[in-house]
Structure 1
Amino acid sequence: MSLLTAVYCAVLAGLVLVGVPVLYVALGAALVLLVQWVCTEALARRVTRARYVTAEEEPDLHAVLDRLCALADLGKPRLAISPSAAPNAYTVGRSRRSATIIVTEGLRRRLEPDELTAVLAHEIAHIRHKDVAVMTLASSFAIALAAFAKGTGRAVAEAPGMFLEEFPYGLLIGLTVLASGAVAGLTSFVAHLPLRWLSRSRELAADRAAADLLGQPSLLASALLKVHDGAGIPVRDLRRGLPALGLVAGRTSRGSLMATHPSVHVRVARLINKR
Structure 2
Amino acid sequence: MLVPMSLLAAVYGAVLAGLVLVGVPVLWVVLGAAAILLVQWLSTELLARRMTKARFVTADEEPELHAVLDRLCALSDVPKPRLAISPSPAPNAYTVGRSRRSATIIVTTGLRARLDPDELTAVLAHEIAHIRHSDVAVMTVASSFAIALAAFAKGTGRVAVEAPGLLLEEFPYGLLIGLAVLAGGGLAGLVSFLAHLPLRWLGRARELAADRAAADLLGQPGLLASALLKVHEDEGIPLQDLRRGVPALGLVASRTRKGRLMATHPHVHVRVRRLVG
TM-score of the two chains, using structure 2 as the length reference: 0.98
**Corresponding position of 2:154:** 150
**Corresponding position of 2:249:** 245
**Corresponding position of 2:16:** 12
**Corresponding position of 1:183:** 187
Structure 2: gaps (5+ residues) = none
Q: In the alignment, which of 65, 68, 79 is matched to residue 83 of structure 2?
A: 79
**Corresponding position of 2:33:** 29
Aligned-residue offset at 1:105: 0.2
Q: Deviations over 1:67-106 (max 9, x none)?
A: 1011111110000000000000000000000000000000
Aligned-residue offset at 1:165: 2.1
| 3-state SS of 1:136 partner | helix
Q: Deviations over 1:22-50 (max 9, x none)?
A: 11000000000000000000000000000
Give the distance between the partners of 1:226 and 1:53, measured in 2 at CA.
25
Give the distance between the partners of 2:221 and 2:238, measured in 1 at CA.
26
Q: In the alignment, which of 195, 203, 206 is matched to residue 202 of structure 1?
A: 206
**Corresponding position of 1:173:** 177
Is residue 2:239 matched to residue 1:235?
yes
Q: In the alignment, which of 257, 263, 272 is matched to residue 259 of structure 1?
A: 263
Q: In the alignment, which of 105, 122, 136 is matched to residue 101 of structure 1?
A: 105
Q: Which amino acid aligns with 1:111?
A: L
TM-score of the two chains, using structure 1 as the length reference: 0.99
Aligned-residue offset at 1:231: 2.7
Give the distance between the partners of 1:165 and 1:7, measured in 2 at CA.
35
Q: In the alignment, which of 212, 219, 222 is matched to residue 215 of structure 1?
A: 219
Residues matched between the structures, number: 273
Aligned-residue offset at 1:160: 1.1
Give the fraction of aligned pairs with identical amino acids, expressed as a percent: 81
Aligned-residue offset at 1:166: 1.1
Give the distance between the partners of 1:186 and 1:166, measured in 2 at CA.
29
Q: Which amino acid aligns with 2:119?
A: E
Structure 1: gaps (5+ residues) = none
Q: Which amino acid aligns with 2:170?
A: E
Give the distance between the partners of 1:237 and 1:39, measured in 2 at CA.
18
Q: In the alignment, which of 120, 124, 134 is matched to residue 120 of structure 1?
A: 124
Q: Which amino acid aligns with 1:28?
A: G
Aligned-residue offset at 1:230: 2.1
Structure 1 ranges of 4+ moved more than 2 A: none
Q: Which amino acid aligns with 1:102?
A: I
| 3-state SS of 2:58 partner | coil
**Corresponding position of 2:135:** 131
Q: Which amino acid aligns with 1:94?
A: R
Give the distance between the partners of 1:225 and 1:251, measured in 2 at CA.
14
Aligned-residue offset at 1:157: 1.4
Give the distance between the partners of 2:73 and 2:230, measured in 1 at CA.
25
Q: Which amino acid aligns with 1:160?
A: P
| 3-state SS of 1:175 partner | helix
